[in-house]
Structure 1
Amino acid sequence: MKQRFVYFATVLCSILFLFFGNRAASSGMPEFQGIYQDHCVMARVEGILSRQSAAQEIDGVFYGRGTNILFAAEILNGEERGQLVTGIQNVDPESPSQLRDVKKGDRVILTYNPVEGAAITWMLGEYVRTDALAVFGLAFAAVLILFGRRKGVNTLLSLGFTCLAIFVVFIPAILSGKNIYGWSVAVCVFVIVMTLLIVEGANQKCLCAAIGCFCGLAVSGALTLLCDHFLQLTGMVDENSMYLKYLIEEDPIDLKAIIFAAILVGAMGAIMDVAMSLASALRELHEKAPECSAAVLFHSGMTIGRDMMGTMANTLVLAYIGSSLSLTLLLMAYSRSVIALLNREMIVVEILQSLVGSSGILLTIPLTSLVCAVVYSHAKGTADGKAPEPLPAQPAAHEDMPL
């Protein structure tokens, strides 16, 4: 009954945090206008009308290249829903990001592009990819529930709250000019507490994992601030940083704080994984061998943690390299000096993310092991509050029993 109350209270508090957090984070956010404000609709291709050469002859010289595909499409959403319109796709064989030719039945994104003197105002923008993503997402959810059962459902719920915290609280707070350091810490604390309480419940295991997470997160944040001072970072990592810098000219976004938040959020998942796995393993050891002392539990945690440390550090490094693989390839191909390459802020930040995340994991292991050793060794019952079942009694030896 107590666990059920904690579960529903956590869900209710999470909803309240998202609601009021969004209102506080969104206050004062300016209206952003840009190229992504174009009028776009979803449509289904009903048929191909014609294929025409895109080249035009002017004074005996041909301008343009490729082929224009005209197609009929039915709009599926918005005010124009149900209307049959004519769309155009320009197929340029030399374009590096050319979409495949449209065909009947395709679901596409059409962009309204009225050009003076042009008969066709709808252009092919993208293919609708969210349908396939939804199928993959449902398959993932089904496998997770099938394998994890109730904990699988709780994992999906915590994942949903985590995504909402990032997209409806954290990002609006940045765009509205709030203090990025404070909001990043607040969101990370919320995600840790919410995830552990929903997935694990209020017990000793959850307490130990939470303390380990907070310690590891504090270490990661402190190291990031320290390295920021010594590495003399500007936050201008790439061209996206430049666009972000001038997004709000009156009150520019702090790019160094963006690096801090990115490192903290990126390390949080790995730190939480290590702390929870270690707390769970030591809890299981304590239940199977309740006579283990605090010293034995601590040394066991350190032994388990060393094995986890190597794989989790590799996970962080490979994740950061994989997310920026194209950029890394370009830099390696066009850089003549290895020293200059390694000192570029873009590369420095990637290395810093890996080092800080790995350092957070490294210090989470002994801290979580120590907390688990103290809490479990002084606990009289199991994580659910029940006393451990006694081992089955062995038959007493009798004097006339054969040896």
Structure 2
Amino acid sequence: MNRRDISDDDTGPIRRVTDTPSDRSPGTSRSPRRTPPPEGTRRPRPPAQRPRPAEPGRRRAAEPKPEPEPVGHGHSHGHGPAAPASRRVRLLLMWLLIPLAVATVAGMVFLYPWGKDPAKSVFPQGTPVNATVTGTITGPCLAEGQVQVGEPPPDAKPCLTSELTMTDGPASGKPLKLTLPIEPSTPRFAAGDEVVLSYNGGDVANPASFQIVDFQRGTPLLLLAGLFALAVIVLGRWQGVAALIALGLSFLVLALFVLPSILAGESPLLVAIAGAGAIMFVALYLTHGLSARTSVAVLGTLVSLVLIGVLSAIFSAAASLTGLDDSTSQLIGSLGHGIDARGLLLAGVVIGALGVLDDVTVTQTSAVWELRRANPALGWRELYGAGLRIGRDHVGSAVNTLVMAYAGAALPVLLYTSLSGVGLGSILGAENIAQEIVRTLAGSVGIVAAVPVTTVLAALIASREPQESL
């Protein structure tokens, strides 16, 4: 039968049949399949291998000997890990700063004029009224109803007649004419200017009841303040918001505590110290957070403020500074009672130097902490040396900032004194100029001292902080 004659119809579908052992070609072998041992039986363990004999010329590696188990001691108390250095550091800072904070609060409570009426000027002060200038006319100085006949005298000074419309007060909406002699110190008013009038309480129909005092500056000042706040928030974000809140609280301390207490007759220097302490705690902790770094900056600021106060007191007494400049004399005359003028001078020195000191101490503390974070192996001596090198660059600009700030504030005094025509020594020895010199130099010495003092405190504390808490 031919192979082609067989079909699937005769035999069915052809399936592949595996080879049996008898069908294997000679010379081939196949390992038998291992069957698992029956359940409940244990597999035989392979025979232990004997160590091979060492080859000649080679040494066998010494087998490690088992270490003896440590012998425990009999008492039952446990030895836990030592407390981290940061905890001890924070406890030390708390013991140093909490008494200072309590003393600051106690000083504010003791010095505040509880139950006393707010101080008022003994001279009658007019009620401020807003008005708008609608027109101005320059001509001879004539009272209402007078007419100029002929030419005015050659030495006659012209006057500026301003037509105004009051926008609030007892005569709101009514027109008013006021005449002012044109002097070098007279402000130049023009149509559209918004001004402030002083109303003495007399007849509103009488122009003599009103007097032009100043311009209205509320709108531009608010715009500038908004621009300042926007710049701080854009750059500082949430920390900028905290800085603005701290700034507002600082103004509240000045307006609600420092000014009323000094006007009530309390010691200006003690009031300034208590107020500066409150501003320091609020501004630094609110802006930079509760941390060891901020606490070091607070300590450095406090030490420098004490130094500034001591130097100012010593040298103001040595230079026989009375503090009785023009503005202070006018203040004493308005109060009707005496005030410690020299203490007021020292209070201005302390409060004026506080802002620059905050900048220096915070910068130095942050620099030392960042150095420690970058290289945890640095000891306190290395941290102090590196931080001091950074501080030398900063102190020059800080001192220059303070000097220029005081020089700018005293520029009219400097110009007025230079007109006297006397020598430089006499100019520098004048009361007004000598006050600014003592104020500037005492503050500058405090700023210079703040750098090494804050740096050494920061180095000692940062070197004891664990790396994970930096």
Instruction: Calculate the TM-score normalised by the size of structure 2.
Output: 0.70
**Contact 1:48–1:72, Cα closer than 8 Å, also in 2:** yes
User: For the residues of structure 2 that align with 1:235 and 1:52, how far apart are their CA atoms?
Assistant: 43
1:23 deviates by 9.5
CA contact (8 A) 1:87 1:110 kept: no
Distance across 2 between alignment mates of 1:122 and 1:196: 46
User: Is 1:88 equivalent to 2:174 in the alignment?
Assistant: no
The one-character-per-residue Cα deviations of 1:73-127 (angstroms, maximum 9, x if unpaired) are: 1424x4x38x31112243544x1133333314x3221233558995675443322
Residues 24-39 of structure 1 aligned to structure 2 (within 5 Å): 24-25=112-113, 27-29=115-117, 31-33=119-121, 37-39=125-127
Match of 2:442 in 1: 356
- CA distance in 2 between partners of 1:39 and 1:61 (Å): 39
* Residues 347-388 of structure 1 deviation map (CA, whole Å, 9 limit, x = unaligned): 11111111111110111111111111111100014xxxx446
Return the offset for 1:220: 0.7
The answer to whether the aligner puts 1:215 opposite 2:307 as a matched pair is no
Residue 312, structure 1, aligned to residue 312, structure 2: no
Which among 210, 227, 230 is matched to residue 318 of structure 2?
230
Kept in 1: contact 2:165–2:173 (CA 8 A): yes
Matched, 1:129 2:221: no
C-alpha distance in 2 between matches for 1:107 and 1:293: 64
Match of 1:401 in 2: none
Amino acid at match of 2:441: L
Q: Distance in 1 between matches of 2:222 and 2:236?
A: 20
CA 1:42 to 1:380, structure 2 compared with 1: closer, same or farther past 3 Å?
Answer: same
**In structure 1, what residue type is equivalent to 2:198?**
T
User: What's 2:415 paired with?
Assistant: 329
In structure 2, distance between residues paired with 1:58 and 1:43: 29
Identical aligned pairs, as a percentage? 25
The answer as to 2:261 corresponding to 1:173 is yes
Counterpart Cα distance in 1 of 2:149 and 2:166: 38
Structure 2 spans left out of the alignment, 5+ residues: 1-100
Residue 244 of structure 1 corresponds to which residue in structure 2? 331
Structure-1 separation of matches of 2:363 and 2:432 = 33
Q: Which amino acid aligns with 2:278?
A: F
Alignment of 1:197-208 (within 5 A): 197-208=285-296
Q: Is the 8 A contact 2:308 2:446 kept in 1?
A: yes
- Whether contact under 8 Å (2:136, 2:190) holds in the other structure is no
Going from structure 1 to structure 2, the CA distance change for 1:69 and 1:206 (only over 3 Å counts) comes to: same
Tell me the equivalent position of 2:388.
302
Specify whether residues 259 and 169 from structure 1 end up closer, same or farther in structure 2 by C-alpha distance, changes over 3 A only.
same
Do the aligned partners of 2:413 and 2:432 also contact (CA within 8 Å) in 1? Answer: no
Are the counterparts in 2 of residues 68 and 88 from structure 1 also a CA contact under 8 Å?
A: no
- Name the SS for the 1:73 alignment partner: strand
Q: For the Cα contact (< 8 Å) 1:112–1:121, is it kept in 2?
A: yes
Provide the rounded CA distance (Å) in 2 between the counterparts of 1:259 and 1:210. 24
Change (3 A) 1:180 1:49: closer
CA offsets, 1:259-292, max 9 Å, x none?
Answer: 1101111111111110011111111111121111
CA shift, 1:232, in A, is 2.3
| CA apart distance, 1:235 | 2.0
**1:275 aligned partner, one-letter code:** T
Superposition CA RMSD, Å? 3.1
Paired residues, number: 361
Question: Matches of 2:152 and 2:203 in 1, distance apart?
Answer: 21
Residue 102 of structure 1 aligns to a residue whose secondary structure is coil
> TM-score, normalised on structure 1?
0.80
Distance 2:453 2:241 in 1: 30
Residues 22 and 172, structure 1, Cα contact 8 Å, conserved in 2: no
The structure with the largest alpha-carbon Rg is: 2
Q: Is 2:284–2:294's contact at 8 Å kept on the other side of the alignment?
A: yes
Amino acid at match of 2:161: I
Deviations 1:109-156 (A, max 9, x none): 123355899567544332211211111111110111111100111111
